[in-house]
Chain A
């Protein structure tokens, strides 16, 4: 499975900013026993600053793998990923961890909040790696919770929150360190329609009001439709 077709420069996209993400000739294989599974080959993609893109595709098409590589959570077999001028594919695990803490905001499908921590503490997690003082961290946390409308739930534990509220905490955690790009892996996939809409509205607001660059992986056409542009990945081929 390979693609020489590129979604270069999200060419027909609406974004006007500088190129924030450059993916070039990216290839990824998995080994399952003696079998090699080609996830994708020669994928090219440019994402501009301030862009809000959706990436759709069936299960196993490689969209989550692409998202993980972009987040520095997985490594490609070939190719290059440059984010904000930094070649992510050349970083070691320590550099990647430090890079992720400042450049990537990740929203998970199943919220993935730590059940032993309150909403505020969950949001604070990425800030524990910074040199911010306790007071500064608190200010950032409350600001992030304010953006997602959950300041009154800051001391609640995840089990005391609805699914939609938990995902909003997840969004607050993703934005609290003011990352370069926000990546969402099916962020509405575990929510009912109303809660899903709330999250999508929140992402739109982050994009329009706060000029955040967002890449959303989703199965849901409705969710994808809320983005500025939709890309599709099928059998390892990325297209717009």
Chain B
């Protein structure tokens, strides 16, 4: 036997209580893993996008469209080197839950701006030749088990009807933050399919000098200020961040819930350790009698507390990770959703902290225990 063995033996003393405490810690850290992942996913989504690309969307909000005629005026702005546009499609595959992001894009000008779209199967030529062709992310292909050349039918939502697409290329982004579960198709297909009732959702521009982005954005917005469709122009990164804030201050909400859960579990774990120590005052006195010093006793009690929270925390975080390996609604909205390594590391650090905090008071009580007094009490 070792001192670690002694800690382990004490954990097995009241198995029911140890397991229940561990389960409560596990549930707390499962919640932490999930909630924290929402925050990190939103943060990651807001980080996607270039500082060197500008997005001009409607000043009334990103759900409003802009006239296609804006394109030529944008191209003429000093500092703008190229212009393209895109529209949100918002269809689903078979079931409303099978939802993923689809963009109708002006292909000839759009893809040259996005080196992130690296074609790994099929070709851009195949895509360009066909009106209803689509380029899909490799993650999307794997998720639905689709093959290159396959015809898929999506059901429109705000643009009703069945929309058929032929998968003509697959991309795999070098930066995972870009997302590999997106679909791109020709803007013209959408335009014709809706009888011309669609127009660009936003314009994308590249700049000659990226550091002039604020100045160029101000010029664009001033130019359209008095038009029927005023714009709000910002860097792509800021645009994405603004898109994310549509969710509200979810980060604060999640942090508040996480903190409340942490403290609730802190009290549960602390109470368990207090009970565990209280019921073995005599045994602690025996340990001290045979020569265990105050520091050793302190360490044994603290180690027991930390072991409970670390095991419970690890299980909870593992469950959270497993729970989000498959298809989840958040995965569809935000590429790369999942419990990150950073969340697991932070969670484990918190589990250790929880064990230390909840075990400190009982550990101090044990260390300070008067042997003679304790033996009188139990004898």
Contact = CB atoms under 8 A, between A and B. Distances in A.
Interface of A: 64-65, 68, 71, 73-74, 93-94, 97-98, 100-102, 104, 106, 108-110, 112, 114-117, 121, 124-126, 128-129, 173, 177, 185
B295 to A, nearest CB: 7
Contacts of A101: 290-292
Interface string B1-28: 1110110011011000000000000000
Contact of A116 (B10, B293, B296, B376): B10
B288 A114 contact: no
18 contacts: A65-B372, A73-B375, A74-B370, A74-B371, A93-B294, A97-B293, A101-B290, A101-B291, A110-B378, A114-B286, A115-B13, A116-B9, A116-B12, A117-B9, A125-B6, A126-B290, A126-B291, A129-B291
B63 interface: no
Contact of A108 (B12, B291, B296, B375): B375
Nearest to B289: A106
A93 B372 CA distance: 13
Given A116-B9, A177-B291, 15 more contacts: A64-B376, A71-B289, A73-B372, A93-B293, A97-B294, A97-B296, A98-B293, A108-B379, A116-B12, A117-B6, A121-B1, A126-B290, A128-B3, A129-B296, A173-B290
Instruction: Give the contact-size bracket for chain B.
Output: 20 to 34
Contacts of B295: 94
B316 interface: no
A71 to B, nearest CB: 7
Given A97-B291, A97-B292, A128-B2, A112 B286 contact: yes
B319 interface: no
Contacts of A109: 379
A97 B296 CA distance: 10
B283 interface: yes
B282 interface: yes
B123 to A, nearest CB: 67
Given A108-B375, A117-B1, A94 B294 contact: yes
A112 B286 CA distance: 7
A100 B13 contact: no
Given A108-B379, A116-B9, A117-B1, A125 B290 contact: yes
Nearest to B11: A116
B119 interface: no
Interface string B353-373: 000000000000000001110
B292 A129 contact: yes
A174 to B, nearest CB: 9
A106 B379 CA distance: 14
B287 interface: yes
Contacts of A129: 290-292, 296
Given A68-B372, A97-B292, A125 B287 contact: yes
A185 B379 CA distance: 10
Contact of A112 (B12, B282, B293, B370): B282
Contacts of A128: 1-3, 6
Interface string B203-241: 000000000000000000000000000000000000000
Contacts of A116: 9-10, 12-13
Contacts of B10: 116
B294 A124 contact: no
B172 to A, nearest CB: 54
B372 A74 contact: yes
Contacts of B290: 100-101, 106, 125-126, 129, 173
Nearest to A100: B291
Contacts of B6: 117, 125, 128
B18 to A, nearest CB: 11
Interface string B101-112: 000000000000
A115 B10 CA distance: 9
Contacts of B378: 110, 112
B96 to A, nearest CB: 55
B223 to A, nearest CB: 79
Contacts of A124: 1
Contacts of A185: 379
A64 B375 CA distance: 10
Contacts of A121: 1, 5, 9
What are the nearest 10 A-B pairs in CB distance? A101-B291, A97-B293, A74-B372, A126-B290, A116-B9, A73-B371, A68-B372, A112-B286, A100-B291, A121-B1
A156 B235 CA distance: 73
Contact of A102 (B13, B291, B375): B291
Contacts of B291: 97-98, 100-102, 104, 126, 129, 177
A173 B292 CA distance: 14
Contacts of A110: 378-379
Given A94-B294, A108-B375, A114 B283 contact: yes
Interface string B134-148: 000000000000000
